[in-house]
Structure 1
Amino acid sequence: MALRGSIDVLSLRRIVGWAWETDAPETPVAVLIAIDRRVLGRCKADLFREDLAVHGIGTGRCGFAMSITAALLSPRHGYEISARREGDGTHLPGSPYVLAPAIGIVGEP
């Protein structure tokens, strides 16, 4: 099954993207967001996005957005965040995505 998609917004508090299964275009993809084996959250790619509809990506109802609890990620650390199809673990194209540290400590190399 061909999985298409991407992460369009990646921050310490929010992840926004889309996922679409070409062999099951009407079925929302269940997306799992994780760092290594630590699951940050799950969501369904079923939000309407006009940009996707215009480009013929299904009916456009393949977007997702997930908020991240403030205590889960530190702005002082970088992370490799994976976005995968739940069930078989297939990564979205480009996954894992790199989230760079948002702040640094003065005097660090």
Structure 2
Amino acid sequence: MNNIANKINSIFLRKYKDENINRFDNILASGNLQSLKYYTKGGALLLIYIMIVRSMLLNYTLINIVPFLIGICILLAVDFCTKRALKNGKNLLTYSKILTTTFSVTFVGLAIFL
């Protein structure tokens, strides 16, 4: 799988062959974390809205509320870690990968639940 990804990257980046593309990693990771800060807040509000509407339509059962509460807690934790990572400024690429993956898995998991 990595061979395929490397081949695709080499095709797209062939005009930058002589440049060091890795120097942009921290800049891109920082921008990604800045965006993630806003997505987590919006995502948490969206989950609260869906939880309330779903609870009103399907009664207030525990199965209708708990997955959304877990998702909201995960998003708030991602938001907290994102702010700490941006303030710290170290290992931005690693934090960006981990937090973006956590954000994505949370929404995919809730989409499967729905």
TM-score between both structures, scaled by the size of structure 2: 0.20
Larger radius of gyration: 2
Structure with greater contact order relative to length (CA < 8 Å, sep ≥ 6): 2
TM-score between both structures, scaled by the size of structure 1: 0.21
Greater strand percent: which structure? 1
